[in-house]
């Protein structure tokens, strides 16, 4: 394991193994939480057991099998056992995550119920006080002199039950809103890149047509139009702050300055130079 992640604070408790523990329905290997510094991460991590994470605050990205998942507070993600993953906290809003490592004869069953696997490691849920309190209670139980494995497993079952309940309670509109918020957060976080709708759809494990329907429903814009508006909005701010046109185009992820000019004129009704003359004193 490549331990190149830098953290500000970490609490982690490992539990002793017992004979034939793999025959148990669920056995908790360790629990903990960590707060990372902005932009820090790990470019290669591989674990012996599955680890289920809950994001208390902030946001970041996890990459598994070549797919990026942009995640925010309330979301759940899995680091699958014996699978190479990488993850990075957001440069402006680093995440604090809680985690539980588990194994046992029912691990596949619970992961299947949640729809989690190495091919889909994220659940785009909203912040949930019950789930957060369960993770916190796992840590408190672990700090006891002789923590009960039964109590630890019971808290794990509560987490799974709450996740299944929240997933079942969601209707299509709620899921759509969650995805829209997650995708727009991703766009604002990566405005300096050459964002392609196809790549974003792949990141969130949806089709381009589904992404199009979500955006048309939520903001009456296509994903491409939304991306352009975000980039031009940020470009205007950079120009007003004295950034030159060529640098502004580069910072907003435009490969060619001519493309930036054309897009800017379409949305602002004037060239970037005219906008600078009009707004910069």
DSSP readout, 229-280?
HHHHHHHHHHHHTT--HHHHHHHTT-S-HHHHHHHHHHHHSS-HHHHHHHH-
DSSP 40: -
Question: DSSP string of 139-154?
Answer: HHHHTSSS--HHHHHH
User: How many Å apart are CA 252 and CA 254, to the nearest integer?
Assistant: 6
Token readout for 13 is: 């408790």
Q: What is the pLDDT of residues 215-260, one digit of tens each?
A: 998 889 999 999 999 999 999 999 999 999 999 999 999 989 999 9
Token readout for 80 is: 């699958």
Q: What is the pLDDT of residues 170-190, one digit of tens each?
A: 555 555 556 787 888 888 888
Closest CA to 50 of 119, 104, 127: 104
Q: What is the pLDDT of residue 21?
A: 58
Q: Which residues contact 114 (CB under 8 A, 6 or more apart)?
A: 123, 160, 163, 164, 167
User: How many Å apart are CA 137 and CA 154, to the nearest integer?
Assistant: 11
Q: What is the pLDDT of residues 60-96, one digit of tens each?
A: 999 998 888 989 999 999 999 999 999 989 888 999 9
- Give ranges for CATH 1.10.10.60 in the chain: 174-279
Over range 97-104, report the average pLDDT: 94
- Give whole-number Cα distances, 113 to 77, 106, 132, 165, 179, in Å: 14, 11, 20, 11, 20
Q: Please work out, in degrees rounded to the nearest 5, the angle formed at the alpha carbon of residue 177 by the alpha carbons of 175 and 179.
A: 70
| Pairing between β-strand 85-89 and β-strand 122-123 as defined by DSSP bridges | unpaired
Q: What is the pLDDT of residues 141-162, one digit of tens each?
A: 989 888 888 899 999 999 998 8
User: How many Å apart are CA 43 and CA 104, to the nearest integer?
Assistant: 28
Q: What is the pLDDT of residue 2?
A: 42
- Give ranges for CATH 2.60.120.280 in the chain: 7-170
The CATH class that applies to domain 174-279 reads mainly alpha
Q: 66 in the Ramachandran plot: left (φ > 0), alpha (ψ -120 to 50) or beta?
A: left
Query: Is the overall model pTM greater than 0.85, yes or no?
Result: no
In this prediction, residue 15 has a pLDDT band, given cuts at 50, 70 and 90, of confident
Q: Is 36 exposed, middle or buried (0-12, 13-18, 19+ CB in 10 A)?
A: buried
- Are 239 and 252 spatial neighbours (Cβ–Cβ below 8 Å)? no
What is the residue-averaged pLDDT of the chain? Answer: 86
> 213 versus 23: which is more confidently predicted?
213
CATH number of 7-170: 2.60.120.280
Q: Which residues contact 41 (CB under 8 A, 6 or more apart)?
A: 4, 5, 60, 86, 87, 88, 89
């Amino acid at each position: 394991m490549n331990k190149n992640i830098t953290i500000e604070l970490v609490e982690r408790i490992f539990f002793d193994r017992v004979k034939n523990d793999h025959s148990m329905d669920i056995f908790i290997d360790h629990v903990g939480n960590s707060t990372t510094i902005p932009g820090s991460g790990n470019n290669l991590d591989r674990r012996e057991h599955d680890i289920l994470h809950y994001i208390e605050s902030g946001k970041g990205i996890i990459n598994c099998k070549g797919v990026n998942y942009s995640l925010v507070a309330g979301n759940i993600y899995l680091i699958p056992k014996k699978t190479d993953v990488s993850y990075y906290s957001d440069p402006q809003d680093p995440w604090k995550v809680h985690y539980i490592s588990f194994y046992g004869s029912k691990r596949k069953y619970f992961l299947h119920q949640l729809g989690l696997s190495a091919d889909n490691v994220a659940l785009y849920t909203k912040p949930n006080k019950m789930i957060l309190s369960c993770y916190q209670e796992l840590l408190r139980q672990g700090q006891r002199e002789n923590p009960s494995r039964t109590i630890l497993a019971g808290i794990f079952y509560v987490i799974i039950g709450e996740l299944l309940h929240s997933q079942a309670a969601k209707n299509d509109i709620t899921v759509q809103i969650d995805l829209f918020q997650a995708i727009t957060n991703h766009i604002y976080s990566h405005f300096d890149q050459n964002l392609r709708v196809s790549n974003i759809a792949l990141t969130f494990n949806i089709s381009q047509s589904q992404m199009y329907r979500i955006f048309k429903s939520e903001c009456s814009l296509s994903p491409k139009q939304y991306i352009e508006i975000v980039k031009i909005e940020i470009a205007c701010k950079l120009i007003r702050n004295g950034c030159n046109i060529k640098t502004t185009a580069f910072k907003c992820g435009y490969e060619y300055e001519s493309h930036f000019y054309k897009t800017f004129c379409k949305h602002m009704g004037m060239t970037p130079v005219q906008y600078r003359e009009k707004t910069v004193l």
